[in-house]
Every structure is written in structure tokens, then in C-alpha cells.
Amino acid sequence: MIGFLRGTLVAKAPPFLVMDVQGVGYEVEAPMTTFYDLPAAGVEIILHTHLVVREDAHILFGFSTEADRSMFRTLIKVNGVGPKLALTILSGQSAEEFHRCIQNNDTQALVRLPGVGKKTAERLVIEMRDRLPDLVGLSPITQDNPQQSMIGNPKQEAISALCSLGYKPLDASKMIQNINTEGKSCEDIIRLALQGAMK
């Protein structure tokens, strides 16, 4: 199992990023909560990782905090929740926010996430209540530089990222159309779009 990666951030196009670890390029899938913490390309970062091995692929997932990775590992143990849906859940909410939803039986907040229907939300509340990891003391990995804009068109990249998270292209465009995107990074736009969708 690969526990963490330390290397240079080469590229980021949510939900994927590429890290150069001593000359080896690792493609990693990560939730938006991790992308919010990422610096610009060219800066060294550390990610907590979880490797999913399938017959047709080895998929590496990366997280900026131990809490998010722990939550991801707990989520994929829930019946009907695979890595993709777990990633989507963690993109729409932080581990702490999800923790509150479970503790408060807030299925309404959960069904606002793409791919989470009423039955899945109810199953999450029931099965996760006793499985919630202890989030105390699990702090983010600090990065040296603040997040900066991705290369390219941040608005289009944000729409593409939302589609990767499970939203339909038309819905993704609508989520962004009322956001003032001028001067904002892709991560900022996605954060605002997801916050708007959860209201």
C-alpha cells in the first residue's frame, strides 16, 4: 500500500493531478477539498494516499488531510458506495461537514450531492454513524504557497471538473453562470458552485 507521496506538483485538472516523485509521474485522483489546498504547479506537496486495485486498473487517490483519507476509507465500506461516489461526497463536503450531517441525520444535505439519492443518503446515515473515524487531531498537511489559478480557462475547467464529479454538463453550466468568475481560479469557481448547490 502506498501511504503517502511527496513530490512536485506537475499538473492539476480536477479531479486529476500529476505529481513528479523522483522522476516518476503519479496520476492521482483527489476530491475538491484537496484541490482547494494545492499550491501552483512546480511546488513540492505531500498527499495522503489510498490505492484501489482492480483487475483493469490501479487507481491512486490522494488527500490533503488524514481526516479526508480516513473518511474516504470508511465511505467505501458502505454498501453501494464505491471510490467514485466517495470522492464526490468529499468534493461536496469536508470530512467535518459530512460528520455533522451523519450526526444530525441530515439526509437532505446529502441528497444534494450528485449520485446520492434518498436511499443512499439514508444508508449512509445508518451505516456511517458507528463507523465515523475520530477526526480529532487530524490536521491538514500545510503547503508552502496558497492556491493559484490553473493554466487555461478556469471557467471551462471548472465545468469539466463538475462533470467529472457527476453533474450533467447543462447542470454544471447553470451552477457557474451566476458566479462572477473574473480573476478567480478554477478551484475558487468550483468551491462557489458546490456551495451554491448545497443551499
Peptide bond into 15 cis (omega under 30): yes
How much of the chain exceeds pLDDT 70, in percent?
Answer: 89
Residues 71, 104 share a domain: yes
Q: What is the pLDDT of residues 83-109, one digit of tens each?
A: 999 999 999 887 778 888 888 889 998
Residue 149 and residue 119: Cα distance in Å, rounded? 38
With a cut of 80, say whether residue 164 has pLDDT above it: no
Residue 125 and residue 103: Cα distance in Å, rounded? 8
**Closest of 151, 197, 154 to residue 172, by C-alpha:** 197
Residues 38, 89 share a domain: no
With respect to residue 136, please indicate whether it lies within any of the assigned structural domains: no
Residues 119, 103 share a domain: yes
pLDDT band at 178 (very low <50, low <70, confident <90, very high): confident
Residue 175 and residue 1: Cα distance in Å, rounded? 37
Domain housing 9: 4-63
Residues 107, 96 share a domain: yes
With respect to residue 39, please indicate whether it lies within any of the assigned structural domains: yes
Residues near 131 by Cβ (< 8 Å), separated by ≥ 6?
Answer: 74, 77, 78
Q: What is the dihedral of CA 39, 49, 94, 165, to 10 degrees?
A: 90
With respect to residue 42, please indicate whether it lies within any of the assigned structural domains: yes
With respect to residue 110, please indicate whether it lies within any of the assigned structural domains: yes
Q: What is the pLDDT of residues 40-61, one digit of tens each?
A: 999 999 999 999 998 898 999 9
Element (H, E) at 130: none
Q: What is the pLDDT of residues 5-18, one digit of tens each?
A: 999 999 999 899 99
For the chain, the domain total comes to 3
Residue 115 is predicted with a pLDDT of: 86
Residues 74, 52 share a domain: no
Q: Any idea what the CATH number is for the domain that residue 40 is in?
A: 2.40.50.140
With respect to residue 115, please indicate whether it lies within any of the assigned structural domains: yes
Residue 46 and residue 21: Cα distance in Å, rounded? 10
Sort strands 4-13 and 44-53 into parallel, antiparallel or unpaired.
antiparallel
Task: For the beta carbon of residue 79, count every other beta carbon within 10 angstroms.
Answer: 8
Residues 44, 74 share a domain: no
With respect to residue 181, please indicate whether it lies within any of the assigned structural domains: yes
Residues 55, 82 share a domain: no
Q: Please, what sign has the CA dihedral across residues 40, 142, 197, 89?
A: positive
pLDDT band at 133 (very low <50, low <70, confident <90, very high): low
pLDDT band at 142 (very low <50, low <70, confident <90, very high): very low
Q: Any idea what the CATH number is for the domain that residue 167 is in?
A: 1.10.8.10
With respect to residue 144, please indicate whether it lies within any of the assigned structural domains: no
